[in-house]
Amino acid sequence: MIALLTGLMAFKAPSQVTLDVHGVGYEVLIPLSTYYSLPNQHESVTLSIHTHVREDAIQLYGFLTTAEKEAFLLLTGISGIGPKLGLSVLSTLSVRDLFSAIQAGDIEKLGTVSGIGKKSAARIALELKDKVARLYPAGEQSTSGSGQPAHPLYDDALSALVNLGYRQPDVKEALKRIEKSGAMAQGLEGVIREALKDLAKG
């Protein structure tokens, strides 16, 4: 099973991308939340991949953050919600908004997703409430330090840089500066690259 792909952005559209991985083009379906943070064409990008095997096809679904993939897998684990609908949810609601709506049992917000009726919204809220609470306990969702929710890439970048041996407080300060500069739009690899430059300055 393919779980991760790193390659050059050969083609991108709101619903799918083609990644050139050493001369092999992989067509990957994506949500809008991923599309908005993708780098420019011909630049390098890493996507977390879910490989969906059907009788007549193998489809790849890609996400810039592990949180997006996590949410997608939770959604598609519900009976009656397939990958297409899972992407639709993530294209309408951010991961934070989705998890907040599930925790609060906000069926009205969940029902704003195209293809999700009241019954499906109620099922999502009911079946995922405990799972979401375990993943993101109330009050533990990350913030950038200003009291506002952090950028979707914040958690992944923080984790990657701490794993490289940098002190968490230093990394948080660097990411705060990057967020203010607008460099978060470069995608995860770009954010990590900018953070490394920032941390190198001391």
- Has residue 177 got a pLDDT over 80? yes
Domain end among 63, 80, 106: 63
Q: What are 34's two structure tokens?
A: 């991923």
CATH assignment at residue 80: 1.10.150.20
Is 53 a member of any domain?
yes
115 lies in which domain range? 66-135
Examine the domain organization and report whether 125 and 174 are in the same domain.
no
Residue 40 vs residues 15, 180, 186, 187: alpha-carbon distances, Å: 16, 21, 8, 10
pLDDT in tens, 15-53: 999 999 999 999 999 999 899 889 899 999 999 999 998
Higher-scoring residue by pLDDT: 193, 184: 193
Tokens 């940098």 found at: 166
Tokens 């989705």 found at: 98
Residue 149 — pLDDT band, cuts 50, 70, 90? Answer: very low
